[in-house]
Chain A
Amino acid sequence: GAVVSQHPSWVICKSGTSVKIECRSLDFQATTMFWYRQFPKQSLMLMATSNEGSKATYEQGVEKDKFLINHASLTLSTLTVTSAHPEDSSFYICSARVEAVGQPQHFGDGTRLSIL
């Protein structure tokens, strides 16, 4: 149980393109999902917390107009990287948790974004 699916797993696009990444909880409902960014050989850095039916909460230094988050249902959150540039190239990972005390976060398999 507690499977999180992320799509696409890999995307290459030209500079200036907007890219949408989907995160789905397959067998549970998640009012809260999280988006992380991971640079090569580094740990995960939290970008934002996605809340179902309300605005996302962004971490300091993360541009909300650059990284648009929509959490329209209890099983789907999307991250759109708008007008992507090469410096946005990274590994983006989402997570979701079962809404109960002490439940851990379960992670998707990540999306490798390469901007040319």
Chain B
Amino acid sequence: TQLLEQSPQFLSIQEGENLTVYCNSSSVFSSLQWYRQEPGEGPVLLVTVVTGGEVKKLKRLTFQFGDARKDSSLHITAAQPGDTGLYLCAGAGAGNMLTFGGGTRLMVKP
């Protein structure tokens, strides 16, 4: 069974601060996806990282895939209230089955 540990579980910060969310596993994933979920809605895909060491940027969000493809991080620069939500990492294993991390609930206060 592949496990994906996500940290922190909760994060409450002021607008303008930076933050990093981590996903760690002892398993190797063929790819890793980051999603953001609003209350009462399904997760929305933010990015997919595939290559070890890969870095992708999406405006103020920077995603990194570890060299060994076992871990990943999401860094948000100058967080805004609109970034508030549940962030989920998910690793793709055999058969492209997804293993989800426990989620990080982010609240950005104005």
Chain B's closest residue to A41 (CB) is B105
From A6, A43, A102, contact of B42 by CB (8 A): A6
Chain A residues with CB under 8 A of B63: none
Neighbour of B43 across the interface among A102, A103, A107, CB < 8 A: A107
Q: How far is the CA of A103 from the CA of B43 in the complex (A)?
A: 16
Identify the closest chain B residue to A34 (Cβ). B98
Query: Residue-by-residue, is B74-110 near A (CB-CB < 8 Å gives 1, otherwise 0)?
Result: 0000000000000010101000111011110100000
> In the assembled complex, which residues on chain B have CB atoms less than 8 Å from the CB atom of A107?
35, 42-45
Chain A residues lying within 8 Å of B102, measured Cβ to Cβ, are: 42-43
**What class of interface size applies to chain A in its complex with B?**
20 to 34
Chain B 13-56 interface residues, beta-carbon cutoff 8 Å to A: 30-31, 33, 35, 40-45, 48, 50
| Contact (Cβ within 8 A) A44 B44 | no
Shortest CB distance B110–A (Å) = 23
Secondary structure dominating the interface of A? strand
B105/A46 in contact, CB under 8 A: no
Contact code string A86-116 (vs B, CB < 8 Å = 1, else 0)? 0000010101010000111111111010000
With both beta carbons as reference points, the residue of chain B lying nearest to A94 in the complex is identified as B42
Name which residue of chain B comes closest to A108, CB basis.
B42
CB < 8 Å A-B pair total: 54
**Distance in angstroms between the alpha carbons of A107 and B45 in the assembled complex:** 8
**Complex alpha-carbon distance, A90 and B46, angstroms:** 25
Bound form: Cα–Cα A103–B98 in Å: 12
Q: Is the CB of B40 within 8 A of A104?
A: no
Among residues of B, the one whose C-beta sits closest to the C-beta of A36 is B100
Q: Is the CB of B48 within 8 A of A102?
A: yes
| B residues near A78, Cβ cutoff 8 Å | none
- A77 close to chain B: CB less than 8 A: no
Residues on B lying within 8 angstroms of A by beta carbon are: 6, 30-31, 33, 35, 40-45, 48, 50, 88, 90, 92, 96-98, 100-103, 105
Interface residues of A (CB under 8 A from B): 4, 6, 34, 41-46, 49, 91, 93, 95, 97, 102-110, 112
